[in-house]
Amino acid sequence: MTKLTGGRRFGWVVAGVLVAASASAALAATAAQNAVSARQENFKHLGGAFKTINDELKGGSPDMAKIGAAAAQMDQLAAKVPTWFPKGSGVESGAKTRALPEVWSDAAGFAAAERNLQTEAAKLDKVASSGDLAALRAQVKATGGTCKSCHDKYRAPEK
Ligand code: HEC
């Protein structure tokens, strides 16, 4: 009889531990999904600013003030990219993300890809205020190349 009660008590303790464990796993999953959502939102802004520049350059009389503002925004966002990929915010968290596991398993390569973007976005910001359209077009191309090379290696294709 005492044994049975003891067993039951043990059972409740185990159940309690399991509930606590799954609650903290759910919390971690929410944190990961929040990180992914913030990251995707930030990339949308980066992409939006880049589109503004490309759209202006397509037209006959590009608005240099608009281009300058967008280039400055890109430069600022590029500097922050390294903070957008906290460990545990990959697909293993269950979050809906296109970031490949290589972002974390090849951290050195990914950091280099981040630096390439930062270097070219900083140049873009400088060239945008120079008024030299030929140089600006060339720098837009160089910057776009850093987006593509990172996406090719570290982003899963759209499903
Ligand atoms: C260092 C790597 C890297 C660089 C550089 C990079 N990206 Fe990305 N980008 C990613 C990854 C990884 C994702 C997937 C994020 C996710 O789904 O969690 C992504 C996602 C995006 C998205 C989709 C966001 C969404 O709505 O889900 C856009 C748009 C985007 N990037 C634009 C750009 C542009 C424009 C540039 C260059 C100016 C750029 N990226 C440079 C790695 C990079």
Q: Whose CA is nearest to atom 22 of ligand 1?
A: 43
Note the pLDDT of residue 1: 45
Distance 10 CA to ligand 1 centre (A): 50
Q: The domain containing residue 106 runs over which residues?
A: 2-154
124 occurs within a structural domain: yes
User: Residue 8 is part of a domain; what is its CATH number?
Assistant: 1.20.120.10
56 occurs within a structural domain: yes
Distance 64 CA to ligand 1 centre (A): 25
From the CB of 154, is ligand 1 less than 6 Å away? yes
159 occurs within a structural domain: no
Mean pLDDT per 10-residue section of the chain, whose length is 159 residues: 54 60 75 97 98 95 97 98 97 96 98 98 97 96 98 95
Ligand 1, from 34, 39, 43: best to mutate by most atoms within 8 Å of Cβ?
A: 43
Note the pLDDT of residue 44: 98
Number of domains in the chain: 1
Which DSSP string do the residues of 72-127 spell out, in sequence order? HHHHHHHHHGGGS--TT-SGGGT----B-THHHHTHHHHHHHHHHHHHHHHHHHHH
Note the pLDDT of residue 25: 74
Q: Whose CA is nearest to atom 20 of ligand 1?
A: 43
114 occurs within a structural domain: yes
47 occurs within a structural domain: yes
**Phi and psi of 140, rounded to 5°?**
-65, -40
